[in-house]
């Protein structure tokens, strides 16, 4: 019995040790959150695609501001079909001409400005993607961290439950308890094994999600045992003040660039009311007459002008459609601004409630659950308690510590979502 009491005391001590257990890994091989963010921002293929798209549009803007290439015209005029002799008729000519077209008004300049705005839009979309990559990388990393900590906590409790099974088996062999206690202890031990298997599945799932942003090899690296801190700037609670902060957000900047592009489209259509024009210059060579007398060569020049007379079914409709598109973008901008502010306020409220729950668990629930488990074990040790109470107390203590870890991670996930809405803090020095 003394040995049994020593085992029970060891379990009580083990309960305290498991409560403070942390995962320890070699620092050089750890995938810290900052390291994951850096890898994601440096190697994510979508970011490279956006950079190339912006460069392509910047180059195209130069081309859009140039005149159309001139056209060279070469031909034979008035060649007689009865003899096909070049010198038979006075009107037979060999003609070389050049034609150059000029678009109406400021079409070239406006088209160039529009393409530059499209290049700026691609650059802003690049910043938006950075924010999304950082947010998703943080969320996936934090989920992996939680499940790894959960696995560590459950692994520590499994050792205690295995010791309980041995103790109950010893007590059952000497007739101090019934078979139901032994079956219950073995059942809870099997349930812990099942929870570990499900946790391994969750870790693999989250690592697969993280590999999208940082690659498979980096996503398999071990995580540190300590949670990082995400610095959240002080944010006003007023709707108007938050709206002003969002004016520089890439999502709003995207709409602003689209509005500028839509305005350039309207300006281009306005220029289409103005006539385009072109010039052509030609030189016609004539051979000498059959008796040797020379013939004079010809020089010709002309101007062509577009006549935008029938605008009701083309230019007017295009202009109206572009103006409707512009108004639609303005409404989208307002709707997006409201949505972003509402989402930010929701995450701020969520983070505040999680902080309160975090304090509650640290001050009350965790100590109380630990004390309850110790008290149930001591009562069972002195034959004043039931084994079912011991198991319930141990399971409650385990679940309480898992809930506490869940709250810690959920608070940081709320911080990660808040940082998505505060790009000046998230993208600083990146």
Q: Is residue 293 part of a domain?
A: no
Q: Which of 303, 310, 266, 278 is nearest to 104 (CA)?
A: 278
Helix (H/G/I), strand (E/B), else coil: 14: helix
**Does the residue 223 lie in any domain?**
yes
At residue 304's C-alpha, the angle toward residues 302 and 310, to 5°, is: 160
Output the pLDDT for position 190.
Answer: 87
Inter-axis angle of helices 179-214 and 107-173, nearest 10? 160
Structural domain includes residue 294? no
Least confident of 22-36, 96-110, 208-222, 330-344: 22-36
Q: What share of the chain is helix, strand, coil (3-state, %, to 5)?
A: 70, 10, 25
Does some domain include residue 300?
no
23 inside domain: yes
Across 80-89, 377-386, 391-400, 405-414, the highest mean pLDDT is recorded for 405-414
> How long, in residues, is the chain?
430
Alpha-carbon gap, residue 242 to 416, rounded angstroms: 18
Report d(CA 355, CA 383) in Å as an integer. Answer: 41
The predicted pLDDT at position 172 comes to 65
Nearest residue to 265 (alpha-carbon basis) of 399, 120, 110, 74: 110
What CATH number does residue 108 fall under? 1.20.1600.10
pLDDT of amino acid 26: 47
Q: Would residue 133 count as lying in a domain?
A: yes
Distance CA 326, CA 219 (A): 44
Residue 343 near residue 364 (C-beta atoms within 8 A): no
Q: Which position has the token pair 């996930």?
A: 413
- The rounded distance, in Å, linking the Cα atoms of 337 and 242 is 10
286-323 pLDDT per residue, tens: 988 888 889 899 999 999 998 888 888 888 999 999 99
Domain annotation covers residue 183: yes
Contact (Cβ atoms closer than 8 angstroms) between residue 413 and residue 228 = no
Write out pLDDT tens, residues 60-119: 999 999 999 999 999 999 989 888 888 888 898 999 999 999 998 899 999 999 999 999
Number of compact structural domains in the chain: 1
**Tens-place pLDDT, residues 258-283:** 999 999 999 999 999 999 999 999 99
For residue 35, what are the domain limits?
2-68+103-273+308-426
Q: What is the pTM of this model?
A: 0.83
In a domain, 139, yes or no: yes
């Amino acid at each position: 019995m003394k040995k049994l009491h020593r085992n029970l005391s060891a379990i009580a001590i083990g309960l305290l040790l498991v409560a403070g257990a942390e995962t320890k890994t070699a620092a050089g091989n750890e995938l810290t959150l900052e390291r994951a963010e850096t890898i994601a921002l440096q190697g994510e293929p979508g970011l490279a695609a956006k950079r190339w798209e912006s460069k392509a549009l910047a180059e195209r803007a130069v081309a859009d501001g140039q005149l159309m290439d001139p056209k060279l015209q070469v031909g034979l005029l008035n060649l007689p079909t009865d003899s096909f002799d070049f010198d038979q008729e006075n009107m037979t000519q060999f003609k070389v001409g050049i034609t150059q077209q000029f678009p109406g008004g400021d079409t070239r300049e406006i088209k160039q400005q529009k393409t530059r705005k499209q290049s700026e839009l691609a650059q802003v979309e690049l910043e938006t993607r950075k924010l999304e990559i950082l947010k998703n990388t943080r969320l996936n990393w934090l989920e992996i961290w939680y499940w790894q900590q959960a696995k560590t906590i459950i692994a520590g409790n499994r050792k205690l439950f295995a010791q309980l099974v041995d103790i109950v088996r010893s007590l059952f062999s000497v007739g101090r308890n019934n078979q139901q206690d032994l079956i219950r202890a073995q059942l809870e031990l099997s349930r812990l094994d099942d929870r570990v298997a499900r946790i391994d599945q969750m870790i693999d799932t989250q690592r697969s999600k993280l590999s999208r942003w940082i690659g498979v090899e980096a996503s398999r690296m071990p995580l540190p045992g300590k949670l990082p801190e995400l610095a959240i700037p002080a944010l006003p609670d007023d709707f108007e003040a938050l709206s002003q902060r969002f004016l520089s957000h890439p999502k709003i900047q995207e709409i602003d660039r689209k509005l500028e592009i839509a305005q350039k489209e309207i300006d281009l259509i306005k220029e289409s009311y103005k006539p385009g024009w072109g010039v052509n210059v030609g030189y016609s060579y004539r051979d000498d007459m059959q008796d040797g007398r020379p013939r004079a060569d010809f020089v010709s020049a002309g101007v062509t002008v577009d006549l935008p007379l029938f605008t009701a079914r083309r230019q007017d409709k295009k202009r109206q459609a572009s103006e409707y598109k512009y108004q639609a973008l303005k409404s989208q901008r307002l709707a997006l601004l409201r949505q972003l502010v509402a989402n930010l306020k929701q995450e701020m409220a969520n983070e505040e409630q999680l902080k309160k729950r975090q304090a509650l668990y640290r001050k009350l629930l965790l100590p109380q659950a630990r004390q309850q488990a110790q008290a149930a074990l001591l009562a069972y040790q002195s034959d004043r308690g039931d084994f079912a109470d011991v198991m319930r107390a141990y399971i409650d203590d385990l679940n309480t510590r898992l809930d506490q870890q869940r709250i810690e991670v959920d608070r940081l996930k709320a911080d990660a979502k808040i940082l998505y809405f505060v790009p000046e803090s998230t993208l600083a020095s990146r």
